[in-house]
Structure 1
Amino acid sequence: MERRSFLASGAAGAAGLLAATTFDSAATAATPPRNPVDGDTGGYGPLRPVAAANDGVEYFALPAGFSYVVFGRTGTPMVSDPSLRNPSSHDGMAAFDGPGRTVRLTRNHEDRNAPGQGTVGGPAQTRYDPLSGGGVSVLDYDPRTRTVVRDHIGVNGTHINCAGGIAWRHQGWLTCEETIVGPEAGYGRKHGYVFLVPAGARNTVPAEPFTRMGRFSHEAVATDQRTGVVYLTEDAGSGRGSGFYRFLPRDPARLDRGGRLQILAIDKRPQTDLRENQTERRWLPVTWRDIDDPDPDPVVEAELPGATSVFAQGWAAGGAKFNRLEGIWAAERSFFIASTSGGDAKNGDVNADGYAEGYGQIWEYTPVGDRIRLVFESPGGSVLDSPDNLTVSPRGNLLICEDDAGSADGDEHPLAPGLTDVNRLIGLTREGRTFEFLVNRFSTSELAGACFSPDGQTLFMNVYGDASEGSGFTAAITGPWRRGVL
């Protein structure tokens, strides 16, 4: 496949994400069985099966020299209180400096429980909704012993905690609900909000929603550490319009004091559909439109002017439309955003409204100049399939988690025999090259929550799993990072 570098400059991470890649149209044909992407390895060499250091099971394929441990498995007893079980559906995550010399992980659980059920335990008195069983677990990981030394439930009684992001001045983890269910669906309270898990808390805190940050299917957030502005992604589902938002807080340190929610729009191009037919590397000037009612009730999800949902209000005001915005991560001067199934190369799935899903897009937004651009669009599943959570590495490149939920192409991988729709961690380098860093050979589960420890020496990530014991877990990966681009 021929490449052409299309980013001459840009700002991301410590060094800046200076390039991304596009491919010629021949690469958009039916996806073959997956192979290492164009022979590039990011400087780390070819992948091979590697067994976990603490149990000997070959969960992943990784480059030579890397090792990992697994912990926090779904359904297993928690360390500090064995009467509690590690919840299911491990999703978005962040790493903070923890007590002593530990790393504190705040880990979302996208538990899609029916009313009165769920896997996130903890005190009854702190639950936001007594009929919901989602929330966040907190794990203090000791990198010297490679073990969890303490853990607890961060917040509970929330629902479908998908991803989130780091709050202003690293005061905690903003966890997001990817849903808008409420009492009409049998739950005790309205859902669809953002909550804070304080970074230094040692016990479960009462879950209090930031209602002015919007009631919609939140995916993730990222905070501008200079201004306190919070950027939010929406995943309303394939084929439905999803928006990119910002929240202008009255007080960045106290999001509960309110602020103004706005949707991104393309300047002088109201109601722009960015899901397909976009030009890579071209900056688009941005304007922002107010959301008059960020906490609508009842919610009407139709994408029609006058409807009550947050996106419908934004679309009627001229906002832009994306397809399934998922992960977002703050770099030094810009924000990188994943659209899971946007793009012109189609994966074969067609939604009920006629939208044909793509293999995914990566966008960059910069407040400097207030503009956005498409920096990468996947030409096929062998290159990148359904980007979800992402992070910026210590050396300024992207590492992207796949969530291949496509049903049409049934792609395979030689390092994961017997599995279809295999998920990987994909790197995107400053020189504009994609490469495989990890292959999930344990299951077809999505990968999620990729984040580096504050010192940059450990990569943490989740295997999402399901409700069955041991199906999901967290991994801590170490190795010769400086040998390559991450």
Structure 2
Amino acid sequence: MLDRRNFALAALAFGGLAIQSRATEKGLMPTAPGYGPLQPDPAGLIDLPPGFSYRIVSALGEAMSDGHRVPDRADGMGCFQLDGGKIALVRNHELQPRHGRDGPFGKAVTLPAEAFDSRAGAALPGGTTTLVLDPDSLAVETQYLSLVGTIRNCAGGITPWNSWLTCEESVDGPDQGVGRPHGWIFDVPAAAGKLVKAEPLKAMGRFVREAAAVDPRTGIVYMTEDRDDSLFYRFIPDVPGSLGRGGRLQALAFHDESIRDSRNWGERRIAPGSWLFVRWIDLDDPESPADDLRHRGAKQGAAVFARGEGIHWGADELYFTCTSGGAAKEGQIMRYRPSRHEGTDRERTVPGRIQLFLESTDPAHYSFGDNLTVAPNGHLIVCEDQYLDTVDNHLRGVTPFGEVYPFARIRVQTEPAGVCFSPDGKTMFVNLYSPTKTLAIRGPF
């Protein structure tokens, strides 16, 4: 039986499917007016709808409170409530070993004891920085290096225990001239106040990581992988909230075993708007010294996705992007609804479901979606990640019906990243990747 809430959700889902189906039949993407036409930014940085404004709260090279400097290549980011009414941003920096001069130390050879790895006596520059802000004035009260010694910290995810899971988009190791294998996830407390010791959560797997999302009900962590033949993973912790104490790593498979490929390249396997029941496959040897997790999982029947990237938990479901998915290879968005018995033996009788929520047919409407978040009104805000001769990356809004609209246009040749909202929903934060700028946007959300 449907209660009022589930009836409303069902009506919303069927209404959205009808809109998508009509648009798909015509070869079009469903669109919405959004917040109105974008207004040219006199500073030439970011165009926004009427009534919205922005300010830069942090930028490349600024001196931080710990004596280091703001690094480049700002990517995924999360926003947190702190004691005393303050808020914190934990921000990734997607730096590789060759980017030492773009890191927090500049030219200096620095190797903190907390660093995860080094090369030639210097800490690898990848990691995270943390900003503590006044939520009303947006003044930055302190900013500091919170993790270092990692490679290509791309995206991540917030946790119910007020920390940021930062993910390495690299499986480099000693063969590539660094000291240790990489490809891990690290847990950075939002209220650390200082550089934390980098401890890899190895039971959660080693692969070319992108992002993570935690179900606050179960503590299960869902993770994406940024490869053309990626899998979609979940980690069931032995002790919810204590990821370092071990658990089970699994990959998603479709219940219909005749479907193993979600990409819709060449042949459409999944129709936009359609739902599929899922099952989960156990993965052995999660530390994967041969970097073969996705190959082993696919052989066992796991579903293949086209560059899984940003992921975010909504009210009782999650969304994740597949950057180059779809017949046009312009991008897909998947929606996953867990079983009410998620992670237990009983989920076999009431399995979770996954939906191809959106598939782009027109790069002018949506192209190469990467990081994303769920806005207070239930819309998605998605960061585009394309580098063409024409500067044209946007923040795209997506309604619960799958309709797309432009929320912002970036006027410089870089990508928006790390989009997230303050806990009160009044401020949206977003990074401009390089040169690093972190913006705070306010308006009639």
Question: TM-score normalised by the shorter chain: which range applies?
Answer: 0.7 to 0.9
Counterpart AA for 1:65: G
Return the offset for 1:115: 8.6
Question: Which of 89, 92, 97 is matched with 1:108 structurally?
Answer: 92
CA RMSD of aligned residues (A): 2.3
- Determine the structure 1 residue equivalent to 2:262: 274
Instruction: State the Cα deviation string for residues 337-360 of structure 1 (Å, max 9, x = none).
Output: 10001001x2xxxxxxxxxxx110
CA contact (8 A) 1:404 1:446 kept: yes
- Determine the structure 2 residue equivalent to 1:328: 311
Instruction: State the Cα deviation string for residues 67-110 of structure 1 (Å, max 9, x = none).
Output: 111132122222x13x3110110100010013433220000001
Query: Partners of 1:388 and 1:266 in 2: how far apart?
Result: 23
SS of 1:94's partner is strand
- Determine the structure 1 residue equivalent to 2:377: 395
- Determine the structure 1 residue equivalent to 2:343: none
Can you give the 5+ residue segments of structure 1 that lack an aligned partner in the other structure? 1-7, 30-36, 52-56, 300-308, 347-357, 411-419, 466-470, 482-486
Compare relative contact order (CA 8 Å, sep 6+) and give the higher one, 1 or 2: 1
Instruction: State the Cα deviation string for residues 132-181 of structure 1 (Å, max 9, x = none).
Output: 210000001223322211111111101100000012x2330000000100
CA contact (8 A) 1:342 1:361 kept: yes
Structure 1 residues 179 and 147, CA, compared in 2 at 3 Å: closer, same or farther? same
Q: Give matches, 1:152-231, under 5 Å.
A: 152-167=144-159, 169-231=160-222
- Determine the structure 1 residue equivalent to 2:286: 294
CA contact (8 A) 2:13 2:401 kept: no
SS of 1:184's partner is helix
Question: Which of 234, 238, 251 is matched with 1:246 structurally?
Answer: 234
Counterpart AA for 1:235: D
Return the offset for 1:283: 1.2
- Determine the structure 1 residue equivalent to 2:407: 437
Query: Partners of 1:314 and 1:232 in 2: how far apart?
Result: 14
Alignment pair present for 1:365 and 2:336: yes
Query: Partners of 2:15 and 2:161 in 1: how far apart?
Result: 26
- Determine the structure 1 residue equivalent to 2:392: 422
Counterpart AA for 1:322: F
- Determine the structure 2 residue equivalent to 1:468: none
Question: Which of 70, 76, 80 is matched with 2:62 structurally?
Answer: 76
Structure 1 residues 113 and 371, CA, compared in 2 at 3 Å: closer, same or farther? same
Counterpart AA for 1:208: E
Alignment pair present for 1:458 and 2:441: no
Counterpart AA for 1:480: P
Query: Partners of 1:268 and 1:196 in 2: how far apart?
Result: 35
The aligned length equals 412
SS of 1:313's partner is helix
Instruction: State the Cα deviation string for residues 337-389 of structure 1 (Å, max 9, x = none).
Output: 10001001x2xxxxxxxxxxx11001001113411110111111111010000
- Determine the structure 1 residue equivalent to 2:436: 472
- What TM-score, normalized to structure 2? 0.87
Structure 1 residues 393 and 115, CA, compared in 2 at 3 Å: closer, same or farther? closer
Return the offset for 1:47: 1.1
Query: Partners of 2:439 and 2:128 in 1: how far apart?
Result: 17
- Determine the structure 1 residue equivalent to 2:4: none
Query: Partners of 1:103 and 1:16 in 2: how far apart?
Result: 34
Indicate the structure with greater helix content. Answer: 2
CA contact (8 A) 2:79 2:89 kept: yes
CA contact (8 A) 1:265 1:286 kept: yes
Return the offset for 1:123: 6.2
- Determine the structure 1 residue equivalent to 2:365: 383
Structure 1 residues 28 and 64, CA, compared in 2 at 3 Å: closer, same or farther? closer
Alignment pair present for 1:95 and 2:95: no
Question: Which of 200, 225, 228 is matched with 1:234 structurally?
Answer: 225
Counterpart AA for 2:96: R
Instruction: State the Cα deviation string for residues 3-43 of structure 1 (Å, max 9, x = none).
Output: xxxxx9659xxx999737533466579xxxxxxx95x432x
Counterpart AA for 1:359: E
Counterpart AA for 1:396: G
Query: Partners of 1:10 and 1:74 in 2: how far apart?
Result: 43
Instruction: State the Cα deviation string for residues 210-262 of structure 1 (Å, max 9, x = none).
Output: 001010001000000000000000002xxx31000000101122111111100
Which stretch has the larger CA shift, 20-29 or 255-264?
Answer: 20-29
Counterpart AA for 1:19: G
Residue identity (%): 41
Question: Which of 40, 47, 66 is matched with 1:61 structurally?
Answer: 47
Structure 1 residues 84 and 16, CA, compared in 2 at 3 Å: closer, same or farther? farther
